[in-house]
Amino acid sequence: MSAKLRAVLPRFMLFATVGGLCTGIQYLILVYLVSMHDWHATVASTLGFIASALVNYLLNYKITFRSKNPHLSALPRFLVISGVGLVLNGAILQAGIAYTSVPYLWCQVASTVIALFWNFAGSLKWSYAS
């Protein structure tokens, strides 16, 4: 394993742990709105993504990246990276629902995995970078 990978791996593991918590928030909102209120899955997922983003920002800022940047610098960057992640999430979920017979939760899992790597790379290289 390269030295660079060894340096990034612990941070990725923390990021994935925070992301798991935030994904749980998103999925709870998604399943609740779809099953209890008959919302469209993409709309419910989008709302869940936005709600979980606040928790995600705060935990990653303080714990994962221990950012020294002021919020006025880090937050707009986070919003750009998360905004792209939100579009990826919605587009992949909607495409899965529209063009496959796969249940919406499996489509959501696929979009979550892709968004995870996008969000980590953007957070590491830009959102919380000095």
Q: pTM score, two decimals?
A: 0.87
Among the listed residues 104, 111, 112, 119, the one whose alpha carbon sits nearest the alpha carbon of residue 34 = 104
Among the listed residues 78, 84, 76, the one whose alpha carbon sits nearest the alpha carbon of residue 114 = 84
- Residue 116 has which token pair? 């995870």
Q: Give the mean pLDDT of 95-120.
A: 94
- Does residue 102 carry a pLDDT above 90? yes
pLDDT digits (tens, 9 = 90+) for 11-20: 889 988 999 9
- Does residue 60 carry a pLDDT above 80? yes
Q: Give the mean pLDDT of 28-49.
A: 98
